[in-house]
């Protein structure tokens, strides 16, 4: 009923600020620009919105920190991001960089309980000895075989299955 709905963009900013603050206590707009690949005016505008939503402490020309609510929301996004990213890496064998990029998009659009399923699955497969450690290797072989016979992507190089661009 309350809760105001958080847009994808807002989630991205929260996540970015959280990450930056991990390393330097506070965020400056410039850092956020770099992290999200947007221009400075976009960041200013976003910060005003975040402040208005009660997620950040912000005053013009000042440093940016997360409020408790912002911290909570950010941690939630990060949880989803990391869970999905793990899934992509550990279950599907996607390389780290692309897994993170992909998680970054998935995290906003998939319902939380389904995201938890992804996370559970990832954990399950890793713990489970129902299928040996063979399992993952076999899948990678299976997937690359499929890949070979598929028009799907233009996939530039694709010379060695993993890490294609």
Partner DNA sequence: ACATAATATTAGCCAAGGCTAAATTTATTC
Partner DNA sequence: GAATAAATTTAGCCTTGGCTAATATTATGT
* Cα(88)–Cα(91) distance, integer angstroms: 6
Chain positions 49 to 78 lying near DNA, rule: CB under 7 A, are: 49, 58, 60-62
Footprint on this chain of its own copies (rule: CB under 8 A): 88, 91-94, 98, 102, 105-106, 109-114, 116-118, 120-121, 123-124, 128, 130-132, 134-135, 138-139, 142-143, 146-147, 150, 152-153, 155, 164
- For residues 48 and 88, the answer to whether their CB atoms sit within 8 Å is no
The residue count for binding DNA (CB under 7 A) is 28
CB neighbours of residue 158 within 10 Å: 15
- Is 45 or 141 the residue whose CB approaches DNA more closely? 45
CA dist., res. 67 & res. 4, Å (int): 16
Q: How many residues does the chain have?
A: 165
Interaction partner, residue 160 (DNA, its own copies, none; CB < 5-8 Å by kind) = none
| Beta strand extents in the chain (DSSP E only) | 56-57, 65-66
CB of 27 to its own copies, least distance (A): 26
Q: Which is nearer to DNA, 137 or 163 (CB)?
A: 163
Q: How far is CA 128 from the centre of its chain?
A: 25
User: Which positions touch DNA (CB under 7 A)?
Assistant: 7-10, 12, 28-30, 33, 37-49, 58, 60-62, 162-163
């Amino acid at each position: 009923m309350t809760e105001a709905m958080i847009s994808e963009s807002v989630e991205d900013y929260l996540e970015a600020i959280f990450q930056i603050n991990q390393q330097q206590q506070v965020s400056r707009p410039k850092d956020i620009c770099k992290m999200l690949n947007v221009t400075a005016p976009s960041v200013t505008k976003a910060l005003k919105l975040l402040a208005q939503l009660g997620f950040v402490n912000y005053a013009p020309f000042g440093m940016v920190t997360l409020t408790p609510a912002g911290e909570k929301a950010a941690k939630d996004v990060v949880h989803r991001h990391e869970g999905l990213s793990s899934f992509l890496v550990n279950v599907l064998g996607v390389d780290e960089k692309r897994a993170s990029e992909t998680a970054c998009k998935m995290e906003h659009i998939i319902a939380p309980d389904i995201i938890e399923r992804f996370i559970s699955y990832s954990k399950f497969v890793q713990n489970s000895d129902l299928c040996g450690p063979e399992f993952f290797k076999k899948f990678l072989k299976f997937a690359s075989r499929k890949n070979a016979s598929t028009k799907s992507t233009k996939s530039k190089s694709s010379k060695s299955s993993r890490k294609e661009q």
